[in-house]
A = this chain, B = another copy of it.
């Protein structure tokens, strides 16, 4: 009945607006375009999503083909309703920020249960990983000789990663700075160990 909420469904609509496809074809297309970096994608989920979109009337089976003894492939096309939904959904995603719960936000909100020394170590590890991530993204942007529209989401990621790097560096400094005394309110994590 109602529109799927899975972002993968949005990707399906976006590709079907160009031409009809069957699930497996889309699966490989998504792989080839590196879309898995921007859209969480499970091979198995794709078939569910197609089924849901069909039931919701956003797509419709166009043809069933078969090659040799392989399983049947059902090709789907977008309906007019689907086209409209694609537009509205995407417009909503672009126009209205969604309040989200990144893992690091959760971690930060609970970080008081870890002893400060260990936090500094962990943040240093994180910093290293973030650095690797930064160069990886940079490589993707430089490497793709295509129009910048196609790497716009990587540019966004890059900006966020750099911000996080700066934040973590600042955080480490604040914790270790003997002047400003960060130490006070840490919750004892293992009460039993320091009697």
Contact = CB atoms under 8 A, between A and B. Distances in A.
Contact of A126 (B18, B96, B157): B96
Nearest to A33: B109
B105 A153 contact: yes
A26 B94 CA distance: 36
A105 to B, nearest CB: 5
Contacts of A48: none
B90 A114 contact: yes
A167 to B, nearest CB: 5
A100 interface: yes
A98 B109 contact: no
Interface of A: 7, 10-11, 14, 17-18, 35, 38-40, 83, 86-87, 90-91, 93-98, 100-114, 118-119, 121-123, 125-126, 129-130, 133, 147-150, 152-153, 155-157, 159-160, 162-164, 166-167, 171, 174, 182, 184-187, 189-190
